[in-house]
Structure 1
Amino acid sequence: MLRALFIVYAVASSALLDDATAADAETRAEHIVQLCAEHHRDAVGAAYPDAYHIRHLPSLRGLVVEATQAEVAALKSHEGVCNVARSHEVTHRPDAGRRLDVDALRRNNEWWGKSHNQGKPWNLDRVNGKLDGNDAFEVSSKGTNVFVLDTGLDTLHQEFEGDREVENVGSYSNFHPGGVWEDKEEWDLTSENRAWLKDNNDSDGHGTHCASTAAGKNYGIAPLANVYGMKVLPGGSEGVIVRALDRVYDLVKRKKVKGPTVVSMSLGGKCRDQDGNEGPGTKYCAFETHYARAIRDLRDIGVLTAIAAGNNGEDACEMAPGASRDAVTVGATNINDRITFFSDYGNCVDVMAPGENVAGAASSRE
């Protein structure tokens, strides 16, 4: 039935489209299809055998599909579909705050001085109080879990040593055209062309650096925390994150991961409405995007989501997922406790924290 609707819609529309518009209409883009009820899943999914099924996030249960404009129109008219929204592509933030590799820093006295205070990483020294050369924390991070949604994770880096779990639990595989989300449980780790995914799937370095500032043994806020990498930016650039958030919800809900859990995301993009248009308004960006709803679902089971406000020097309320009101959105300060020139700002920023000249780990595949 769906395929018939697609054909009828395409034929009726073709006479009204010029060549450029017609080509655009046939371009497939990722969409979130929200089902009105679970019993509609098979009927809607039959037309998309390669769809990813969102089965865990309560407010987004449905499918992630690659669809043309004609197919989207047909889906919206289906009795079993309550909503169809274009996926928001996100990128990791430009490194305006300078991403500094600890190994390279030791060979560069200038940058070592800018990233350290009295021999200690200045960001850790400042977070635990005043800049006094003491970067120790009174509260232990043992048993805490940090999911880092980014470009991947170099689990073999010395910053992640210790008696804790550090592993990659999900990835977009570059071995499949278009990118296919793969959970760790489905990986064939005996296969030579996939074995590296287990230990280091970060060819960009951004994810490894962010993970080390969160949970590195020398450069992290929570040096004893378990770290789980989720590669949502397959080429080190653009990606989408709903699949990963669905996976986190499932792992926590089934108690595969126990203890206080944080999702860390230093990524984002312009907030868009369900048709992909920019500027839908602050309320929509804060509560109604699929990112905002997924983050609210995670909050309801006790998972904290921390998101970088952004490095664009713009209003954070215009960004997604940073505008989500159920997340903790973090702006950037420098060593003088002033907002950096690049940090996003505004009412959607919940807290300011060190974000300039911050040292951390670099991936061996970078």
Structure 2
Amino acid sequence: MHFTVVSTIFIVTLPIFTRGVPVSIGQQDGPIVGHNELTSAKLKIVKAEHPTGEHIVVVKDITHLGDVMKLVPDNMRESLSKLEDINGFAGKFTPEVLDKFLSNPNVKRVSEDGYMDYDTVTEQSNAPWNLVRLNVKGPVTNTTPHVYKYDPSAGSCADVYVIDSGINIHHDEFKHGTATRAHWGTTIGTYAPGTENTDPDGHGTGMAGIIAGKTHGVAKLANVYAVKIGGRRDAPPTDPSRATGRKAIQGVEWARKRAVRDENSQRRSIISMSIGMGASLDLDEAVLKAIAHGVHVVASAGNGAKIPGQDVKVGIDASTRSPGRVQSVITVGALTQSNHRLTWSNFGE
């Protein structure tokens, strides 16, 4: 994964190189867990950090997806989610059906789907020193109002797909004259009536503001597109609105297809994911396909993990998190104003 200096509202994010998933997963040293392409041994289910109860089935590239999907009973097939970019599908399966997948030589991998976490930032209402940090090397020590120097056309050539909780596309921060630079892209999943095309959590709107907001945004003329894959962070564990790996894969696929559709426009396409989960080969593969089609992917390094028995988070190795662990992803950590890594920011080499 690549780390590049990117700004947040209260903190400055600093990219750091980490060990991660190679640009081509096939070049990875050692066997891939759950991969039976070279052996007749029965597969084992790849475990998720926080399982949802659903599973993702990835089929070998040489096999037609429908051949394996026929193993699913007719009454269960309508609820399946197709994941074209990784040649797979997701759903809730009985132990008997899962066993069929694990024994089938055409199946590459069976993984538990997992819940994802929003990676948060703190917003400062004035004196955005973090933007100034993009102009200088080292700490920003002056506590007086700062001057942020930037190209007035910054972002005018870019479309950024924010895979998150949605965006308040009517926010004043995204208005440019009579037009708006924030657009609703797509909604993936089930949400409470009236919230399908909104951002009740606010996380996605905050991230879009860092990217392209008039006040705190880095690329102030970029277009941002909401790709909603989750609802509120405080939703109950079983709430269907929660962000999951399967939804993230579908979000990456949607953004990739739209970017490819518009590739003749000469605009640059970027996927932003301030959201993450435990290591997921399925999500990693979807991200790699987007990158292979010329889409830049930026992901947060993550907000660390809680110390057992304490309500305190400390940073952990970012190579344990998807999609930030992918080497060709621009993975972003966090700095304080004094140029030190925030204690809860994940890190790498």
Q: TM-score, normalised by structure 1?
A: 0.65
Q: Which residue of 2 aligns with 1:30?
A: 55
Matched-pair contact (CA < 8 Å) for 2:65–2:87: no
Matched-pair contact (CA < 8 Å) for 2:187–2:229: yes
Of 146, 163, 175, the match for 2:160: 146
Distance across 1 between alignment mates of 2:268 and 2:200: 29
Distance across 2 between alignment mates of 1:83 and 1:173: 23
Matched-pair contact (CA < 8 Å) for 2:302–2:318: yes
**Structure 1 residues 212-235: Cα deviation after superposition (integer angstroms, max 9, x where no partner):** 001112211111111101111234
Distance across 2 between alignment mates of 1:257 and 1:54: 25
Matched-pair contact (CA < 8 Å) for 2:59–2:87: yes
Relative contact order, higher structure (CA 8 A, sep 6+): 2
* 1:256-275 to 2 correspondences below 5 Å: 258=265, 259-271=267-279
* 1:279-318 to 2 correspondences below 5 Å: 289-312=281-304, 313-318=315-320
Answer yes or no: is 1:61 the counterpart of 2:77. Answer: no
**Structure 1 residues 148-173: Cα deviation after superposition (integer angstroms, max 9, x where no partner):** 11111100110111145421212234
Query: Do the aligned partners of residues 128 and 318 (structure 1) sit closer, same or farther apart at CA in structure 2, a change above 3 Å counting?
Result: same
Q: TM-score, normalised by structure 2?
A: 0.68
Q: Which residue of 1 aligns with 2:244?
A: 239
Matched-pair contact (CA < 8 Å) for 1:173–1:234: no
Q: Which residue of 2 aligns with 1:39?
A: 64
Unpaired stretches in structure 1, ≥5 consecutive residues: 1-26, 106-111, 177-192, 273-288, 348-366
Distance across 1 between alignment mates of 2:60 and 2:186: 25
Unpaired stretches in structure 2, ≥5 consecutive residues: 1-51, 234-241, 305-314
Q: Give 1:88 shift.
A: 3.6
User: SS of 1:223's equivalent?
Assistant: coil
RMSD: 2.5
Matched-pair contact (CA < 8 Å) for 1:41–1:62: no
Q: How many residues align?
A: 264
Q: Give 1:38 shift.
A: 5.6
Pick the structure with greater CA Rg. Answer: 1
Answer yes or no: is 1:202 the counterpart of 2:191. Answer: no
Matched-pair contact (CA < 8 Å) for 1:268–1:320: yes
Matched-pair contact (CA < 8 Å) for 2:60–2:106: yes
Q: Which residue of 2 aligns with 1:74?
A: 100
Matched-pair contact (CA < 8 Å) for 1:292–1:326: no
Q: Give 1:42 shift.
A: 5.8
Answer yes or no: is 1:98 the counterpart of 2:122. Answer: yes
Matched-pair contact (CA < 8 Å) for 2:59–2:68: no
Higher-helix-fraction structure: 1
User: SS of 2:69's equivalent?
Assistant: helix
User: SS of 1:245's equivalent?
Assistant: helix
Matched-pair contact (CA < 8 Å) for 1:28–1:68: no
Q: Give 1:255 shift.
A: 2.2
